[in-house]
């Protein structure tokens, strides 16, 4: 229904259940990069499970508890951003991202994260936006740093992935930090 330009060739759009075939094709291209870091990538392996992933986010949107967006480059879905959690009553949210190789090194993820931060702070008046990443996911950490987030701490052996316990970093940006940066 709408698109937000990220560059002259890329745009940010809502991802919805009816787009499951395109989403599944994209996740299949991105799986090697995404699977270790985004839990739903592991479970989105056929059309029904891809649709279910997008439906979970559609349900979150209805409840004002989350949202998922795709990044299209030259008309092809190549990545995305999401509010993993969104709690307006508490003034907090968590942002997550993913991409396939075609989206790398183009600034698309950073531009999309900037749009979500602007929405969270400027339109919705949130107080805090978080970013969680595994300590071994250095690309994700770099996005948080470029977004101006601060490392709050590390949760040791927080998450299990294929039998290995991973440490998780928690980053955050506060509304007054965003306002100071945007001014």
Q: What is the pLDDT of residue 79?
A: 94
pLDDT at 163 over 60: yes
User: For the packed helices 138-146 and 108-118, what is the interaxial angle rounded to 10 degrees?
Assistant: 50
Query: Which residue carries 């936006």 as its tokens?
Result: 129
Mean pLDDT score of the chain: 92
Q: What is the pLDDT of residue 12?
A: 97
Q: What is the pLDDT of residue 1?
A: 60
pLDDT at 151 over 70: yes
Average pLDDT over residues 140-158: 96
Average pLDDT over residues 156-166: 89
39 vs 163, higher pLDDT: 163
Of the pLDDT bands very low, low, confident and very high (cuts 50, 70, 90), residue 182 is low
pLDDT digits (tens, 9 = 90+) for 117-148: 999 999 999 999 999 999 999 989 999 999 99
The first and second tokens of residue 35, run together, are 């699977």
pLDDT at 63 over 90: yes
The first and second tokens of residue 66, run together, are 């989350």
What's the chain's length in residues? 183
* Percent of the chain clearing pLDDT 70 (strictly above): 98
Q: What is the pLDDT of residue 41?
A: 76
Please tell me the distance from the alpha carbon of residue 92 to that of residue 60, in angstroms, as a whole number.
Answer: 15
Q: Is the dihedral of CA 122, 7, 78, 160 positive or negative?
A: negative
Average pLDDT over residues 79-105: 93
pTM, entire model: 0.92
Quick check: 173 and 147 in contact, CB under 8 A?
yes
């Amino acid at each position: 229904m709408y698109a937000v330009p990220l560059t002259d060739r890329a745009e940010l759009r809502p991802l919805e259940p009816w787009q499951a075939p395109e989403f599944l094709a994209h996740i299949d291209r991105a799986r090697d990069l995404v699977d270790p870091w985004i839990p739903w990538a592991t479970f989105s392996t056929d059309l029904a499970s891809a649709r279910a992933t997008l439906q979970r986010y559609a349900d979150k949107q209805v409840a004002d508890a989350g949202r998922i967006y795709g990044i299209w480059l030259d008309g092809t879905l190549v990545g995305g951003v999401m509010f993993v959690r969104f709690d307006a009553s508490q003034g907090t949210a968590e942002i997550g991202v993913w991409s396939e190789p075609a989206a790398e090194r183009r600034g698309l993820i950073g531009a999309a994260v900037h749009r979500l931060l602007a929405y969270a702070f400027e339109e919705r008046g949130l107080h805090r936006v978080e970013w969680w990443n595994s300590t071994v996911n250095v690309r994700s950490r770099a996005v948080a740093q470029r977004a101006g987030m601060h490392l709050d701490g590390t949760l040791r052996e927080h998450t299990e992935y294929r039998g290995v316990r991973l440490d998780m970093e928690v980053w955050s940006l506060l509304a007054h930090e965003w306002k100071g940066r945007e001014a």
